Amino acid sequence: MVNGYKPSSLQEALEIRAAKDVVPYAGGTDLMVENRQGVSYLFLSKIPELKEIRLDDEYVRIGAAVTFTQALESSLIPPLMKEAVSRIAAPAIRNAGTFGGNIGNGSAKADSVLIHFVADAKVRLVSLRGERIVDIGQFYKGRKALDLASDELIAEVLLPRTGLENYYYKKVGGRNALAISRVSFAGLIVMDGDVIRHIAAAFGAVSGTVLRMRDLEKMFEGKTLAEAKACKDEILSLYASRMELTRGRVSAEYRKAVCMNLLKDFLEEKGIS
Ligand SMILES: Cc1cc2nc3c(=O)[nH]c(=O)nc-3n(C[C@H](O)[C@H](O)[C@H](O)COP(=O)(O)OP(=O)(O)OC[C@H]3O[C@@H](n4cnc5c(N)ncnc54)[C@H](O)[C@@H]3O)c2cc1C
C-alpha cells in the first residue's frame, strides 16, 4: 500500500512539501524498486504546471513530471535528447518515467542527465521561499547527493535551444535493448567555418556524477580543425591520465578504454582525425 498526498497544483504541492516529511514521487519507476517502508509520498504526476514542455528565447523548458514518452512525441525536444530518451528501458518505463525523476534519482547512469550535462542545462528549483536556477553540474554534488533542500521540488530543466545540432551519442549497455548504461557518451561541437567555437564531451555511468573536463575541452576551442588535429594526441593523453573511473559491473580499465575509444571516435567523426 503506497501512502501519500495527491496535490493538484504546484502551490499545494509546495505547501505539503514544506509542512510534512514526504518523498516526491513522479513516475515511481525508481522508487518502486527501492520499496521504502513507512514513507509518505508526494505524488507529482497530476500537477499541470510540471507536465508542460515550453520554449522561451534561450531554452526548451521541460517540466519535471514530463514523461519520456511525452518528450518523444513532442516536436520541441531536440534530436539528441530524443535519441538518448528512446534508449531508456522499454515503453512501459518510458510512459511513467519522468525527467524530474531521472534527475532526482541522482544517478550518473541516468540517460537524460548525460544530455543535460553535455548541453550545460540548468535546473529550476522551487519552494515556498521562491525559486533558484542552478547549473546541472552544480546541482550534482556526488553520487546520490543533490543540491536540493528538503522543502524544494525540481520544477523544470532548462535545455539550451542552440548548440545541440552537431552531436555524437553512444550508449554502451550489456545488451542492445533494455540496458542500463555501462558507459554512455555524448559529444557536441559548434563550428564557425573551419574554427571550433565550442566543444563538449560528457561521460555517463563511469563515476559518481556525469564526467566532463571543461579545461581540456577549452584546449580545442578557437583552433582550426588542422590545429586541433595537431594537438589531439596531447589532449587525449591528458584525458587518459585524469580519468579515474569507478568499478561497476565491469572493470574500471574496461570502462576507461571504452571512454577513450568513444572520445576518439567523436573527434574523428567531427573532422579532428
Ligand atoms: C526496469 C527499469 C529500467 C530502467 N532503465 C533505465 C534506463 O535505461 N535509463 C535511465 O536513465 N533510467 C532507467 N531506469 C530508471 C528510471 O526509470 C528513471 O530514472 C526515471 O527517469 C525515473 O523517473 P520517475 O518519474 O519514475 O522517478 P521516481 O521513481 O518517481 O523518483 C525518482 C527520484 O527522484 C525524486 N523526484 C522525482 N521527481 C522529483 C521532483 N520534481 N523534485 C524533486 N525530487 C523528485 C524522487 O523523490 C526519487 O528520489 C530504469 C528503471 C527500471 C525500473
In the reported structure, the alpha carbon of residue 257 is separated from the centroid of ligand 1 by a whole-number distance in angstroms of 29
pLDDT of residue 190: 98
- If you average pLDDT over residues 175-197, what whole number do you get? 85
CA separation for the pair 85, 21 (Å, rounded): 31
Q: Give the list of residues 6+ apart from residue 127 with CB closer than 8 angstroms, or none.
A: 14, 17, 18, 149, 151, 152, 153
- If you average pLDDT over residues 194-200, what whole number do you get? 98
SS3 216: helix
pLDDT of residue 255: 87
121 CB within 6 A, ligand 1 = no
pLDDT higher than 70, residue 180 = no
pLDDT of residue 83: 98
pTM of the model: 0.96
Report which residue type is found at 195: V
Residue of 6, 105, 150 to test ligand 1 pocket, by largest number of atoms within 8 Å of CB: 105
Q: How confident is the model at residue 181 (pLDDT cuts 50, 70, 90)?
A: low
pLDDT higher than 70, residue 35 = yes
SS3 54: strand
30 CB within 6 A, ligand 1 = yes
The residue behind cell 534508449 is 87
CA separation for the pair 132, 118 (Å, rounded): 21
Q: What is the pLDDT of residues 219-229, one digit of tens each?
A: 999 999 999 99
In the reported structure, the alpha carbon of residue 89 is separated from the centroid of ligand 1 by a whole-number distance in angstroms of 11
Q: What is the pLDDT of residues 93-103, one digit of tens each?
A: 999 999 999 99
pLDDT higher than 80, residue 175 = no
- If you average pLDDT over residues 43-65, what whole number do you get? 98
pLDDT higher than 90, residue 184 = yes
Nearest Cα residue to atom 9 of ligand 1? 88
Q: What are phi and psi of 101, to 5 degrees?
A: -70, -35
29 CB within 6 A, ligand 1 = yes
- If you average pLDDT over residues 30-52, what whole number do you get? 95
84 CB within 6 A, ligand 1 = no
Q: What percent of the chain has pLDDT over 70?
A: 96
Q: What is the pLDDT of residues 109-155, one digit of tens each?
A: 999 999 999 999 999 999 999 999 999 999 999 989 999 999 999 99
Residue 273, C-alpha cell as written in the block? 582525425
Of 59-63, 135-139, 167-171, 247-251, least confident by mean pLDDT is 247-251
Report the phi/psi class of residue 67: left, alpha or beta, with left for phi > 0 and alpha for psi in -120 to 50.
Answer: beta
pLDDT higher than 80, residue 246 = no
- If you average pLDDT over residues 82-92, what whole number do you get? 96
Residue of 29, 43, 49 to test ligand 1 pocket, by largest number of atoms within 8 Å of CB: 29
The answer to whether 41 touches 26, Cβ cutoff 8 Å, is no
CA separation for the pair 167, 186 (Å, rounded): 7
Nearest CA among 88, 83, 80, 262 for reference residue 183: 262
Q: How many CB atoms lie within 10 A of CB 179?
A: 14
pLDDT of residue 182: 79
pLDDT higher than 60, residue 178 = no
pLDDT of residue 271: 97
